[in-house]
Structure 1
């Protein structure tokens, strides 16, 4: 039952106060067809809107099923409109971008009816009004009568108690009007139908009750409710509060946006500009980081964690140099002061730390070192062993070509400079001067670093391989050093350059070798101990005796090149100058034979006596006057050359020790390496290995064995990490600048959403009339910003991916670095998510404004 008691409704307009309803009281039966007549402005539509819950009354009371609506909340009114009321408007008020079926289903969607049930009921309602075959048409494709039928079907689909019709035939011709009135009359058989009309003829024909209004008051009622009538006032069952799902909101907004495809695309494209900018920066940053990571991983073989027996802490040296720039000592007088620089640098250079590699090697090979062995790709041990190799088929003005150690720098006259360099840099950093190097003992490491071009890998201790680069080229420096090109020619050119006879050394023509020519090359290997000859009780160094050395070389071990190798594809970034590589077996052979030599056995048997001087190891400088009479008699028997050799030997060995003599002779203790190289498969593994070394150090300190603590420098890791930090910093700054455009584009989308609110005011009114809450309306426009933001994000990411292709091609063309611009899928997803958040935030204000629109005013808009 519906009862109005002393209703009053006033409107404030620019001309003053308008009294739309004045003390109006009326009761409606549950089943009747009521027509409300009256002149324009008499309050007919206002009364209809109050009954329908679209408008509020200022005074009086509206009683629904015995319950006063004075304490109704917004949710109560929404539930009332959704379940109890069905609206039929003069202008149809259909949502034009939705299909007929979707228009009818909308009220059920708000109620939360399942999809299949919703469709069944909507089809049944359309069938009832004779539109079963028009389900998928848009309202714009239908006649006025058909659209009104759709409106009636929409009003009936939720089986409301009350149907409110505001001028349902006002826009229809007489024939169609009769059809609509017949339909309304049929509907009124089982529910209350209240119709506002200006057509009294139709009203009197079809209505069961006529109510006339004038100036907001009832002036006549053809069938008023008698107080004696038994009207049901009991409250009905609790009704489910309407709530629009986000998918429904998305559907409404998507259909609306599809009617404005051009504007939607341009808006989304404009909104994607910021995404494109940030995406390109992220792509380049990711590509560069990936390149750095690949370089890091490629350098794992070339730059392992190397722990030497004596290590200078480079961080101390770098810190000392950086502190020089930070000093800001001021002086108030006009005198000149010196600045402490040389002392600091030399002090830091002198701060070398000794590593107990004997203990560390034992640890690595024990059960406790299993973590190292499982994480490392390979662990290589190097020793203080100088290999002497010669090219017997090459001669220079100064004699034989010494291949190992490389004699080219001495031939040119740079031996002093190289000696100075060796004092300050580690052996690993000086290894680039040598052309005679050791192959990795680990087969896995060898396979990762090199690939075989021709021949075979060394199978015996007297076999070596020669390295070329990825283009099958080998540097002339290597070929000069190996004696395969004329060293004298290079030395003469260099001397002419130094003397100013020529301005520059003209590069010679490229020398071409067949593989067979290289594979036929043979070298001679001489043991370190073989350079010393015993004369009397003393061992004399004969390395400067050309005839003696020539004989040693002739009698030396033949070493043949049996294979040609080149860097593996993964290490092509490592520049190769080429060189000869010998196996671990050759090192083992030299160590074994050296330890069997007479001089080494004698030195081992007399550890307190220097075999080169015949005297006890002492820190005292050599003094000829301190020689015994027997030693002086022995010297007197030597010729001048032998005497000079002896004097040189004595001077060189003045500060010798047993350990230094053993190193000099090449008598290596296999338990005491000079350096340990730990190879990692990736940069992360390298960092993990560093953590294991830290854990080892902590354990040794806890045990009180500070002498076993390991110190090493990872300069490559520090430098590459610094590059990564700089790239990240630049990326963050650029992203910060570009983010401004992202914010601006989001605000623009918010403005477009506000324009959409203005354009869809009638739709807002329709939704509210069907019971949509303010939150539902907000959800519709939030869904619109969501769609636009999603499209903008996807367009931005898509364009970024497309732009990355030519950018990568251009960079690769100029730098040979491939895939420098790659947007990770995680980054793309994050960009889309960020854009969605920003656009949703920008759309909150217009969505909130839409939800606050007065439904009555919204329905009147065009």
Structure 2
């Protein structure tokens, strides 16, 4: 049932109040063709708009299905228009960028009808009005009569209860008008049709009821509705529906496709900021990947290294900088200079930063948790301070020491002075030695080296020659191994110091067989000491005859293979210039042999006496008085003649009545001068004593870069719950260096992104303006959508979908352009510096940038879309 009860409508125009309707009372039947006649301005269209829910009455009541509409919300009116009303306009009001079929389907998309059903119902409706063969045409390709029939099909397709036709024949010729009226008359057999017209003859001929208006009042009704005589019309209550985002996307996409050039330029303009950020991220990511690859490659050279004595260099540098900052705050006065007191801070920092790690306990911890740690490491190496003294073994009488390297000594260069400029070894410190311990883990050994001849060492007396990846060995290694005469180096250095140009030395070639014939002899630190007849151990390292004699019975070391550094691996830097690799078995042999040596056993048996001088180690109480027992003990260590002289002097003093204190005082200065500065621990270290369970250095090789972090966590777990003085400390030099570089790169990246982000703001403003222009251009479309039941939210959704599409296109375009730009950039950098993929945009960053582009464009379109939603549908329909 549809009933208008005392409906009034007033418009305020400036200071004038216009009465469009003045208390209209009308009731309508379920099915009839009602024509509303009247002069222009009498309120016909206003009445039609109020019945259709496009316009709201000022007072009175519109009763639908027995329910007052006074409390209707916007959503109720939207549902009413979509489900119960079908509009047929004089100007057709078809959406020009949609096909005929899409125009008819549009109302059903708001009703939640499935796609398949929607299409079939639209085709049926078009066939019913005689346009079954015009489905894919656009409105501008059709005649006026055809467009009006499309409008009627659109009005019918949702099976509404009421058809409202506003001057449906006003723009048509007579023949076409008759066709349209016949269609409307046929429709009125099944539903209510209310038509506004200026043509009384058409109304008289086709209408079943004519209502005349004058100045907003009903002056005549040819067939009033009699509630008592006729059945009450009940319209079905219908559920609220809303436009799906897919429909909104379709509408917006079709609109954008009608303006391809503008859409592309808008998307491209929006992509400028994305391109800038994407290029920055590409370079940042590429450089970071390069840094990571360098860091990963250096894991072989710089494993996680834990020393028995560890210095916290980071803390030391921090303390020094803080001290310098405080000092800079001090200002000197006139005619004075103030001191910069930094030595106390330096000494304190050094003392505080140097700690001793309990590697014995940590080694035990590693071995007990080997199963857990094995998944993160490619190997764990233990090193000891036991020195290997190796000599070339041949038939000549010359003594050639090959380890520690004597190359610098032969040049007359002090090793102490060179320490400052020496290259860093993978194990820390300076690295002039060409002998290095091979990894004990087979998989780690295989990843770093490949065997080119012979085999890997299988026992402690076997070694291999190491070459670089190209199979070359430096002349430094050749001099160190005694294959070239070291004596010529001093002459070469002298000539160079005199400014003479050195001749290029002839390239030497050695067959594998030549190198496999090399043999060496091993002397341990303890082998350099010999006990004299007085029981004192003497250092014989300067006695060449003694050493040559010792070498006769020394352990012979033979070369059993040639290995080469693998391409792309980062093994010990020894491989950079060639050298000799020995197994951990040789280290264990040296440690165990030294432990069993006579000199070590004797020193361990008497930890209070220096067996190299026969003098007791200095007491912790330096002021403690010496006793006669101490004096007699010392005399016993001296040669026999000297013993007799000293004993005679003591007896003579005693005969003259001297007391023990007087005798000790007489010998006091002499004995003090002969006191030893050595310590028990120092002597053991001098002999090369080491405990196989207490390494001096532990090297942990991560299996990959991510595993390195896991190992750090493993060490943190070891440290948890321990006292401060028991915590294991180490310095990750590679991470320290690389993190600084990474920090700089990140800082530069953020700064550049900050600058480029300004263009994103500009793009957002521009897209907001273009969206507002689109709102103005599509104002009539807004009115059409509202007329067929679209809510304010649906209108907002349409324009949000448009900005969403533009944002998506801008993001994808930006990523695509960046990818294309990266190609020549990578090519140029590779040709110039040999670095691959320096510009590489990660997929996740690409996705994020596209999302950012969509979010920003949607945000920029929120205000225009809200403005579109608030447009009055009646005014929007009048827009041309």
Matches within 5 A, 1:252-331: 252-327=251-326, 328-331=329-332
Aligned-partner SS, 2:110 = helix
- 2:561 aligns with 563
The structure 1 residue matched to 2:784, chosen from 766, 774, 781, is 766
Q: Normalized against structure 2, the TM-score is what?
A: 0.87
Instruction: Tell me how far apart the structure 1 counterparts of residues 674 and 283 of structure 2 sit (CA, whole Å).
Output: 58
- 2:852 aligns with 834
Deviation at 1:443, TM superposition (A): 1.5
RMSD of aligned alpha carbons: 3.4
Matches within 5 A, 1:530-549: 530-536=527-533, 537-549=535-547
Deviation at 1:606, TM superposition (A): 4.8
The structure 2 residue matched to 1:747, chosen from 765, 770, 794, is 765
- 1:529 aligns with 526
Matches within 5 A, 1:429-828: 429-498=428-497, 501-502=498-499, 508=505, 510-536=507-533, 537-553=535-551, 556-572=554-570, 576-618=576-618, 628=635, 631-633=638-640, 654-701=676-723, 708-828=726-846
Instruction: Tell me how far apart the structure 1 counterparts of residues 345 and 674 of structure 2 sit (CA, whole Å).
Output: 30
The answer to whether the 8 Å contact 1:300/1:679 transfers is: yes
Instruction: Tell me how far apart the structure 2 counterparts of residues 55 and 630 of structure 1 sit (CA, whole Å).
Output: 124
Question: Could you list the per-position Cα deviations for residues 744-802 of structure 1 after superposition, in whole angstroms to 9, with x for gaps in the alignment?
Answer: 21221121111111111111111111111111111111111111111111111222233
Gapped runs of 5+ residues in structure 1?
Answer: 637-649
Deviation at 1:110, TM superposition (A): 0.9
Instruction: Tell me how far apart the structure 2 counterparts of residues 319 and 344 of structure 1 sit (CA, whole Å).
Output: 11
Q: Which moved more, 1:823-832 or 1:31-40?
A: 31-40
Aligned-partner SS, 2:91 = coil
The answer to whether the 8 Å contact 1:394/1:400 transfers is: no
Aligned-partner SS, 1:132 = coil
Deviation at 1:823, TM superposition (A): 2.0
Instruction: Tell me how far apart the structure 2 counterparts of residues 651 and 451 of structure 1 sit (CA, whole Å).
Output: 58
Instruction: Tell me how far apart the structure 2 counterparts of residues 456 and 651 of structure 1 sit (CA, whole Å).
Output: 56
Aligned-partner SS, 2:859 = helix
Aligned-partner SS, 2:94 = coil
- 1:859 aligns with 877
Instruction: Tell me how far apart the structure 2 counterparts of residues 156 and 569 of structure 1 sit (CA, whole Å).
Output: 77
Question: Could you list the per-position Cα deviations for residues 43-73 of structure 1 after superposition, in whole angstroms to 9, with x for gaps in the alignment?
Answer: 3222222221112233443333333333322
- 2:627 aligns with none
Task: Sort the Cα spacing of 1:383 and 1:221 in 2 relative to 1 into closer, same or farther, 3 A.
Answer: same
Task: Sort the Cα spacing of 1:564 and 1:742 in 2 relative to 1 into closer, same or farther, 3 A.
Answer: farther
Aligned-partner SS, 2:77 = helix
Q: What count of residue pairs does the alignment treat as equivalent?
A: 838
Aligned-partner SS, 2:464 = strand
Q: Which moved more, 1:428-437 or 1:681-690?
A: 681-690
Aligned-partner SS, 1:55 = coil
Instruction: Tell me how far apart the structure 1 counterparts of residues 821 and 557 of structure 2 sit (CA, whole Å).
Output: 56
Deviation at 1:439, TM superposition (A): 0.6
Aligned-partner SS, 1:61 = strand
Question: Could you list the per-position Cα deviations for residues 93-129 of structure 1 after superposition, in whole angstroms to 9, with x for gaps in the alignment?
Answer: 1122222222212212212122233233223222222
1:379 counterpart = 2:373? no
The answer to whether the 8 Å contact 2:323/2:345 transfers is: no
Task: Sort the Cα spacing of 1:503 and 1:8 in 2 relative to 1 into closer, same or farther, 3 A.
Answer: farther
Aligned-partner SS, 1:133 = coil
- 1:647 aligns with none
Aligned-partner SS, 2:63 = strand
Instruction: Tell me how far apart the structure 2 counterparts of residues 817 and 777 of structure 1 sit (CA, whole Å).
Output: 53
The answer to whether the 8 Å contact 1:394/1:401 transfers is: no
Instruction: Tell me how far apart the structure 2 counterparts of residues 298 and 427 of structure 1 sit (CA, whole Å).
Output: 13
The answer to whether the 8 Å contact 1:389/1:403 transfers is: yes
1:28 counterpart = 2:28? yes
Instruction: Tell me how far apart the structure 1 counterparts of residues 425 and 677 of structure 2 sit (CA, whole Å).
Output: 23
Instruction: Tell me how far apart the structure 2 counterparts of residues 389 and 98 of structure 1 sit (CA, whole Å).
Output: 92
Deviation at 1:421, TM superposition (A): 5.3
Question: Could you list the per-position Cα deviations for residues 334-382 of structure 1 after superposition, in whole angstroms to 9, with x for gaps in the alignment?
Answer: 32122122343344335532233333333333x3675445544322211
Instruction: Tell me how far apart the structure 2 counterparts of residues 80 and 503 of structure 1 sit (CA, whole Å).
Output: 105
- 1:408 aligns with 407
Instruction: Tell me how far apart the structure 2 counterparts of residues 255 and 497 of structure 1 sit (CA, whole Å).
Output: 82
- 1:80 aligns with 80
Instruction: Tell me how far apart the structure 2 counterparts of residues 426 and 330 of structure 1 sit (CA, whole Å).
Output: 44
Deviation at 1:224, TM superposition (A): 3.5
- 2:181 aligns with 181
Deviation at 1:848, TM superposition (A): 0.5
- 1:643 aligns with none
Q: Which moved more, 1:763-772 or 1:142-151?
A: 142-151
Matches within 5 A, 1:173-252: 173-226=173-226, 229-230=229-230, 232=232, 236-252=235-251
Task: Sort the Cα spacing of 1:186 and 1:49 in 2 relative to 1 into closer, same or farther, 3 A.
Answer: same
Q: Which moved more, 1:668-677 or 1:370-379?
A: 370-379
Deviation at 1:841, TM superposition (A): 0.9
Instruction: Tell me how far apart the structure 2 counterparts of residues 617 and 426 of structure 1 sit (CA, whole Å).
Output: 36
Q: Normalized against structure 1, the TM-score is what?
A: 0.89
Task: Sort the Cα spacing of 1:26 and 1:471 in 2 relative to 1 into closer, same or farther, 3 A.
Answer: same
- 1:122 aligns with 122
Instruction: Tell me how far apart the structure 1 counterparts of residues 468 and 806 of structure 2 sit (CA, whole Å).
Output: 55
1:165 counterpart = 2:162? no
